[in-house]
Structures are given as structure tokens and as C-alpha cells.
Homo-oligomer: A and B are copies of this chain.
């Protein structure tokens, strides 16, 4: 595995570049990621390029022995691009323009900006073409960051209408699929369709789901356009993009299909603070991050990547600037996070950033160097990780368990939570965490992925079920856990005629005849477990597995399949998953809450998120 760093030479005097490159190499870094925010320096005036400085950067880094990951600068078009076509900015859900002054101020559907993005991509690609220093291209930066996938602009509306016409063929089919008769929402032509924002009350969930799919497709085609140019102009380089944490704005399976390597940006402390962890977890893991945050994304994005090739394109090296609170990692955590990535099979961990920039939006974001160029604590940890890696020879992944996740599932629970906060993503995270607490290797896989080699498969919450999944599960000889709402919808957000779990009914051995969502405090209590949040009434041949003191059945069992009738969280899903692991012949006793394992090849990595220690054992 390579180590690298994100570097912004345009922030620093040219006289410093060689020293930076030398110090990177001395630290054990072999990759350097540059260029993704530099449009205003590359093309300071429309059509007037200034390549000199970047040529010298590339040569300097290359000369030092660093392989360069070059970004296309399309996430930050300069002001003159915006001024030339002010309607290129996205409109937010309230119809307000999202203007210049930070980044990502473009609408994915704006043809004019697409042309500009293609032009600057081609210019950069042609310039560095076959330069031996360039090992990879990165498209844009963090698609969707700051909630930028959805735009409610006229450009988006027009593109959405075309997309709908393509998908549905006739407006009558659209009306039928969406059930538009419901509130006289029937359209007479695709040109009558509006975007689903600013309706009086909620828009049709089918309308939202189509808009989410469309918005995702716009990202994918925007990216594809760059990929095509890069492959044409600079063949032979890997193409990558950096995904984010707990982010589902577009379908990463679709995006990754056009990439060679899927990257992601790992900020365990920031994510702990900003996402759905309990107050107690936020305090307990404030300096280490919850033990499953990084691992979950490693496994998720490995599952999304075309050939399983993935990397960490940004790794938190110290406090960040953007969370509600920004503590420092424990000494040892940066090294631990690096080895956790290795244990999951990363090709690269690249620290963000080389040197803390004393100005602008991220001035409080730590780097490997402080603003004054002295070493920050992470520099020595990167060096230590490089030493660790030198003695590690790789090793094949080991399959034990899998969690099935789809982006559309998350869109659907967001569109229709039915009970406040219900989320397929977080259901997946809790199931993942339950498995990992048992010390298991976990893959997170596409619904149509082959299931061979696993002993246990969990489908936490998958409203739309494909025939492929059904066939794979039927053929599967391990244990299966299926969670609520699985098989509850058709492709257009309709309830299937045979009700949930629809095509899974034979496997589950039952039909869901009624679903309730429950407020916090309502629960089914059993011996050492408590199930809450949701309750499916199931009728069929399945046998009750867990029955509460109130007599309600919280989980059902039918051959190899368990059905979780309550929301897959907490002690309840931990128990269901542990029982399935036992039946699968897998380890089934939970580790301490701050310890996690990961086996790669013949090594077992033991990560202690309390002491920041890593132990490497024979597997």
C-alpha cells in the first residue's frame, strides 16, 4: 500500500517546493495529490493559460520520486466562469441561487458549464498527457459535498423532463407508475412535470425517487464526460474520484463503474461529531472516532469499486475545521487509521493535507506540517505507518459475512421515513457494526453481487428486491438475516400487489400484513434485548424466534432465513446477528466495545480504539 499526501503548491512560494517534496519522501510518502482547486491559477483569464508554475511543480515532484495524482479543477470554477453564465449555479430546494464564494457552485445539468468543464479537463489532460510523473487522474472533488447533487434550477427541470421521457416512454406510463391519479396529479405531457420541491405538502414519493435517480445520473454522466476525455488524452493512467463519508447523494456503484479506483475521504472524528451517533458515543470516541466509521466506508467503497480497487484519498491527520466540535486524535490514531485501511485492502492512504494553510475556509484544518512548516504530530505517525507497511506483504481478502446495501434504498427511506429518522444507510451501519463486534470480516455488497464464499448475509433494509438477489439468496447455503421494509416496494415506489417482502416471501416464510413505526420509548422487551422503532406484523409459516414479554414477535426464523420485524438497531439486532453467526459456524461472542479485528491474508489485525494500539497476529 502506498502512502501519499494532498498538496497545494499554489499556496506556497516556489522556493519551498523542492524541500516539501524531499520531506515527503523522507516521511515515506510516494504519492502526491495536486491541482483540484487551481483553476484560477491555471487559467487566470478566460482562455489565457498559465502552465509554467504547474509544469515546474510536476517536474519537481516527479524529480523527487513522487507519483502524482492530478485533479481536474472543475469543483471550483473561477468567478469569470460564473459571470459569463450566471444561471450555471444550482438553485437550492427553496429556489435560492447557490452563488460564488466557496466551491461546488455549479448545476450538474447546465450545458454551458458542462462545456466549460470539458474544455478545462481537456486542457489539463493534454498538457500532462504522458508526463511520467502523472500516475492517476482524479475527476473534480467530492461530488455532492455541501448537498450539491440536487439542483432545482430551470436547467435541471428541463433535463429531468428529458430523462423522464427517456425512462417512461409515454406520460401515461409515468402517470400509471407513479399513481398520479391520487390527487389529480396526472400530467398530459412530460413538459408539465415540475421538480418536486416547493410543493404545498410532500410531493409524490415516486416523483422524488425519480428525481433522486435523475440527479444521481447527472453526476455519473458529468463524471463520465471527464473520464472519456482523460482516457483519450492521457491513456494508461488510473482514474479515480474521492467519495465522502455517510454520503448517499448519488449511486456510487454507478459512478465507480467508470473509474479504475474508487477513493474516499476519511475523517473519523469529524464524522463522529456530525452524524448519528449518541451523545455518549460522541464523548467516548471523541479522540478516536467510533471504531466502525472508517472500516464501514472501506468495506462499502471496496464493494462499489469496479474491480475492488479503492483507496483513501484524504485521511484526517489532526483536528478538522468543519465539525461542530474539533478535537485532536489520540496519539497513535493516525497510524491506526492507516493500518485499518491496509487491513481492508486499500491501495493508498493519502493524508489531507501536507501543510496547514493559514488563510481562507480551512485554516483550522490540521496538516502533516503546521502553518509555520514545523512538523505536526501526524508527520511522525505517517513515518511510523510507512515503516509498518514496509514489513507487510499484502494478502488476499477473507470472506466471512456480507451486508447488502443499495443507494436507492437509502433514497427511499429518506423520501418516506414513515417513522422519524428511519434510514437504510444507518440500518446497514448498525448491522455492519453488529457483525464487526463479533470480530468478523464484513463485505458490503451490491444487491446483485454474488454471495459465494460467505457464511452469513444480512439484508438490513432493501425496499426494492431484484430477481438476481432472490436467486442468489435461494442458492446461498449460509445464514441470512433480512430486515424490515425489504421487498416492500416496486421500482416506482409502489407497494407490490403481494405486499412485502414480495419476492422474498418464500425465503422469509411470511408476509408483512401491517407495519407500524414507533416513537422512542415504545419497545418490545425480551431477555437481554429490546427491540424498537418499527414493528412488522408477519403472517406465514415462519417460526417466532424472539418473542417479547408482551407477546409480540420481534424476529422470525424460517430455515436459513431470519426476518427482523423491528428496526435493526441496538441489543436486538446484535442478538439476531449473533444467533445467525452461531448457526453459520462463525465467531459469535462480542469483542470489547472499543476493539475490532480484521483479517487480511494470514494476518489478524487487532485495533484498540481506546489505547490507539494495533496488534498484528497470525490469523
Instruction: Enumerate chain A interface residues (CB-CB to B < 8 A).
Output: 8, 10-11, 37-41, 44-45, 73, 76-80, 83, 90, 94-105, 145-146, 148, 178-188, 192, 194, 196, 198-207, 273, 279, 282-283, 286, 318-319, 321, 324-328, 356-364, 366, 370-372, 374, 376-377, 416, 418-420, 492-499, 513-519, 521-522, 535, 537
CB-based contact B364/A416 at 8 Å: yes
Known contacts A205-B363, A358-B494; 16 further A-B pairs (Cβ under 8 A): A40-B181, A73-B184, A94-B94, A98-B200, A102-B203, A182-B360, A182-B362, A183-B360, A185-B360, A283-B521, A319-B514, A319-B515, A324-B519, A327-B535, A370-B514, A377-B514
With the chains together, A289 CA to B28 CA distance in Å?
A: 61
A444 to chain B, nearest CB (A): 28
Query: Across the interface, do B518 and A101 meet the contact criterion of CB distance under 8 Å?
Result: no
Who on chain B is nearest to A75 by CB? B183
The answer on a CB contact under 8 Å between B273 and A519 is yes
Do A204 and B360 touch across chains, with their CB atoms under 8 A apart? Answer: yes
Please list 29 pairs of residues, one from A and one from B, whose beta carbons are closer than 8 Å in the complex, sorted by A's number: A37-B184, A40-B180, A41-B186, A77-B184, A80-B192, A83-B192, A90-B200, A94-B94, A98-B200, A100-B199, A101-B196, A102-B185, A102-B203, A179-B359, A182-B362, A279-B521, A282-B519, A319-B517, A325-B420, A325-B518, A325-B519, A326-B418, A326-B517, A327-B522, A328-B537, A358-B497, A359-B492, A359-B495, A363-B494
Give A456 Cβ to nearest chain B Cβ, in Å.
Answer: 31
Q: Given the complex, which residues of B lie within 8 Å of A90, measured CB to CB?
A: 200
Report whether A514 and B318 are in contact in the complex, using a CB–CB cutoff of 8 Å. Answer: yes
State how many copies of this chain the complex holds.
3
Cα(A515)–Cα(B376), bound, Å: 12
The A interface, classified by DSSP as helix, strand, loop or mixed, is loop
Give complex CA distance A206, B101 in Å: 11
Specify which of A39, A203, A361 lies most central, judged by the most chain B CB atoms within 10 Å of its CB.
Answer: A361
**List of B residues within 8 angstroms of A519 by Cβ:** 273, 282-283, 286, 324-325, 327
Interface centre among A103, A145, A181, A187, by most chain B C-beta atoms within 10 angstroms, is A181
Residues of B within 8 A of A44 (CB): 186, 188
B11 & A182 in contact (Cβ 8 Å cutoff): yes
A90-B199 Cα distance, complex, nearest whole Å: 11
Q: Roughly how many angstroms separate A28 CA and B493 CA in the complex, as a whole number?
A: 34
Question: Nearest chain B CB to A181's CB is how many angstroms away?
Answer: 5
Shortest CB distance A413–B (Å):
12
